[in-house]
Amino acid sequence: MSAVILAFDTSCDDTSCAILGSNVQSNVVISQNIIHEQYGGIMPEMAARTHFENIDKATQLAFEQANCCIKDITHIAVTIGPGLLPSLLVGVSFAKGLVYRYNLPLIPINHIEGHIFASFIEKDIEFPFIVLIVSGAHTHLYLVEGIGRYTLLGKTLDDAVGEAYDKVARILGLGYPGGPIIDKLSKNGKADSFKIPKGLSKKNTLNFSFSGVKTYVKNLVEKSPTLSKTFVCDVAASFQRSCVEILCEKTIMALKKYNINNLVLAGGVSANSLLREKMSELSQHLGFKLLLPPLSLCTDNALMIAKAASFKINAKFDLNSIDANPSLTL
């Protein structure tokens, strides 16, 4: 019998449930953006309460979309970390409840591993590959030599790039999450209006730094008499170019240093239009293979958790030792 995995992700502010089998697939994401928008960021306790309210509905919708029922499920998978502890606890407790009730095996998944394999839902890429994980909490470069074989090559020393997008959006008086808004406004701005510095550029390191970029924008805004539409669009475009250029520079450095020909992008910021465009150009120009996640699977979702779990269906896990771990590493 082939596996049919029911998966949950409640690591941050999206309540997601997905089903993945050879003939069935669904992916339900209930966003909390409207709730957190008014605060310009995520309120952890409120996020957990909203997960609690929505997880049952997300599960029902996932079964409806996949046109199957609990009797068809062979495995349950859940994100155990990293993420916000109150949020993670909702998903882990809910998944464990189903595991006890229906006597199914539980597969614990690292949220970052989920992001890495999101692109694999549509297409495979050969190992080894380098993955650039860019999200609200991560800006990490890993060498991936197989399932579970991950070597950290570089990471942000301060803010994650998605966090920088969200903070810059708040400074500019825009909504939450900032990434998609800045991405859109950039299209109406001139990227050479402001020379926004690129953290750790031209330095012999695969680490990143984004706190300086954010401070630079803060100073620009404080000095500007008004936040005109043109000013906001020009800052957005200049900021976006600075971020994308440094992400490309370090990623190419990693591919060359480790002599790797396959690149995977992962995480919410991999939805960014300029990052996708520049990486695609570089892939053609330099001749490496590029795997971009479909736009719907860049940000948090449970289908990527189900995909990561599909590689582990034969592994045995001790149910009692599975727990939420907000600072879980790969």
The single residue among 21, 86, 267, 293 that binds ligand KG4, judged by CB under 6 A, is: 267
Q: Does 32 bind ligand KG4 (CB under 6 A)?
A: no
Q: Give the binding range for ligand KG4 (CB under 6 A) out of 20-28, 230-238, 256-264, 265-273.
A: 265-273
The 109-138 site mask, x for binding Zn ion (CB under 5 A), equals --------------------------x---
Q: Does 268 bind ligand KG4 (CB under 6 A)?
A: yes
The HSE-up count of residue 62 (CA atoms within 13 Å, CB side) is 32
Q: Does 139 bind Zn ion (CB under 5 A)?
A: no
What residues are paired with 207 via a beta bridge? none
Rounded Cα–Cα distance for residues 5 and 14 (Å): 19
Q: Residue 39, exposed/middle/buried by CB under 10 A (0-12, 13-18, 19+)?
A: exposed
Q: Give the binding range for ligand KG4 (CB under 6 A) out of 48-56, 97-105, 187-195, 263-271.
A: 263-271
The single residue among 44, 128, 175, 180 that binds ligand KG4, judged by CB under 6 A, is: 180
Rounded Cα–Cα distance for residues 175 and 231 (Å): 17
Rounded Cα–Cα distance for residues 176 and 136 (Å): 12
Find the shortest distance in angstroms from Cβ 311 to ligand KG4.
Answer: 20
34: amino acid identity, one letter: I
Q: Does 271 bind ligand KG4 (CB under 6 A)?
A: yes
Q: Which is nearer to ligand KG4, 72 or 158 (CB)?
A: 158
Rounded Cα–Cα distance for residues 1 and 111 (Å): 27
Q: Does 183 bind ligand KG4 (CB under 6 A)?
A: yes
The single residue among 185, 300, 310, 324 that binds Zn ion, judged by CB under 5 A, is: 300
Residue 44 parent element (H or E): helix 44-66
292: amino acid identity, one letter: L
